[in-house]
Structure 1
Amino acid sequence: MTDTGRAIDLSVEVIGDVETVWRAVATGPGISSWYVPHTVEERAGGAGVASFGPEPEMQIAGRVAVWEPPHRIVFDGGEGVGGLTFEWTVEPNDANTCTVRLHNAGFADGDPQYDAMVDGWKLFMANLQLHLEHFAGQTATSALPMVMWPVTPEEGWEILAGGLGIDKMPDVGDRFDVAADDDTKLGGTVIETGPRRISLLADTPAPGTAFLTSEDGGGFTMVSVWLYLYGPDGAAIAERDDAGWRAWLADHAPQSD
């Protein structure tokens, strides 16, 4: 396949043998556990759908352009369809680890979404590491509430952190507990902090991972409270808490002048 335009190249080292890591990056249940909900027909030419939200327009259809298990898969928009391509490779290392590489190509020069995509992929690939370290072989159900506010990312983070009453930059290892309402709670251990981001290894409302972020969306700011929940009650809790966090974000939207 021939690249066109600008590309993103990222890699992470993850825990797991090549077959386990392959399932995480090339199957619907695997990808859904650390990115967004996916369905994947596991064959060359198979259909794939990524769900970025409940609305019909947020269901993004694509194709498995290359299927070379357990080392390489490429997703694109379909035969003769332009746009972005996503190539994932899995390289086994020693000591039960693998290197996962992403080559995301097809950006036009000056694409305003490029920098936001780089930041987004870094977060998701960090979540892939957490998935394989703590929950390998399990499947998460995600709740992905996100709003787009006409403020700067710094202002978005002020609103999010201030509304929840939290430190804007807690220490790694700190206990973290917040609530959107009496039933919608989030708690766990801070495992990473960065500019306008807190990452958690969650134990409330279920075992999993969680991310609070305020990111530049190229002309607007994307503010998110994202959960990936495991266990027998994970799916039901994710559905419940998705609604709770969406309502909280809507209630805290900045007022226009």
Structure 2
Amino acid sequence: MSHEFQLTHDIDLEATPEQVWAAIATGPGIDSWFMGRNEIEPREGGVATMTMPGFTAESTVTAWDPGRRFAYRGKAAEDGSFMAMEYLIEGRDDGSTTLRFVHSGILTGDWEAEYDALKKGNPLYLRTLAQYVKHFPGRTAVPVSAFGPQQPDQDTVWAAVTRATGLSKDVREGDEVHFTIDGEPIDGVVDTVLEPSFLGVRTDDALLRFVGGGGMVLTGHHIFRDVDQATAERTWGDWLAAALA
């Protein structure tokens, strides 16, 4: 069974339209708040790719109006499912920007669960975008995606991740964070919480995101300094394995 869907989200951003465009329509910009390593061919009909460990998704740019509108559509799967993204930028008199994000497509299989995940997940990524343009303007990040071992359920994952980051299970936005990874101290503040599936931490040089569902967890980190992506992903993978052991 298939289901056509459309989700619309509006968010106000403390950034100019030019800054927002760089964040949502260039590879390095998208790397700094969304998923994986991204490349965008800057024209209508161009190719957009997103690469995660062991996975690459390819899309076609369907709208390219710099500073105003950017859209792309993924290839349809054999069952007809696909996703399309559209960003509409509107500048404000005070120099800020209102962004409308429209996520549409066709879902198949257990579409209700996938739709619910998108409905909850999209605002979380947009909040990361807001953190990026506010706290790291003019900078770009190295994306770090690492996967932890499968667990019996998401509550087990949440308990392990909060414990390993020195937080309580009932963590709240604004809580301070102090822990170490490979001997390196991590000091920051919790900027986003959706228990038990999403924990966001902002440091002076990173946006750390722990994303989970169905007993799995991965990092969707964005590191705003010169690090080797492969090394960082191995390090965080080892950290997750130890946290969930």
Match in the other structure for 1:201? 202
Does the Cα contact within 8 Å between 1:169 and 1:194 map onto a contact in 2?
no
Q: What's 2:89 paired with? A: 90
Provide the secondary structure at the position in 1 that maps to 2:157.
Answer: helix
Q: Kindly tell me: are residues 192 and 224 of structure 1, through their superposed partners in 2, closer, same or farther at Cα, counting changes over 3 Å?
A: same
Provide the rounded CA distance (Å) in 2 between the counterparts of 1:83 and 1:198: 28
Alpha-carbon distance, 1:179 to partner:
2.4
Displaced runs of 4 or more, over 4 A: 78-82
- The CA distance in 1 between the partners of 2:65 and 2:75, in whole Å, is 17
CA 1:79–1:175: 2 relative to 1, 3 Å: closer
8 A Cα contact 1:13 1:97, kept in partner: yes
How far the C-alpha of 1:241 sits from its partner, in A, is 2.8
Letter of the 2:209 partner, please give it: F
Aligned to 1:240: 231
Match of 2:105, SS state, is strand
Kept after mapping to 1: 8 A contact 2:107/2:114? no
The reply to whether residue 211 of structure 1 matches residue 205 of structure 2 is: no
How does the TM-score come out when normalised to structure 1? 0.81
CA contact (8 A) 2:82 2:107 kept: no
Return the TM-score normalized by structure 2.
Answer: 0.85
What is the aligned counterpart of 1:63 among 33, 57, 60?
60
Deviation of 1:27 (Å): 1.1
CA distance in 2, matches of 1:163, 1:138: 28
Describe the superposition over 1:77-97 as per-residue Cα deviations: whole angstroms up to 9, x where unpaired.
259986111111111122111
Question: What is the CA distance between 1:237 and its match in structure 2?
Answer: 5.5
Deviations 1:124-154 (A, max 9, x none): 1111101111112211111122336253222
CA deviations on 1:176-218 (whole Å, 9 max, x unpaired) are: 11224325x4321223333233322213xxx1211234x33xx
Aligned-residue identity in percent: 22
How much is the aligned-residue C-alpha RMSD, in angstroms?
2.5
Determine whether 1:17 maps to 2:16.
yes
- Whether contact under 8 Å (2:71, 2:84) holds in the other structure is yes
Q: CA deviation at 1:253?
A: 4.4
Gaps of 5+ in 1: none
- Residues matched between the structures, number: 237
Give the SS at the match of 1:242: helix
| 2:45 equivalent in structure 1 | 45
Residue-by-residue CA offset, 1:14-62 (whole Å, 9 max, x unaligned):
0122122111111111111111221000000001101122x2xx11111
Paired with 1:85 and 1:194, the residues of 2 have a C-alpha distance of: 25
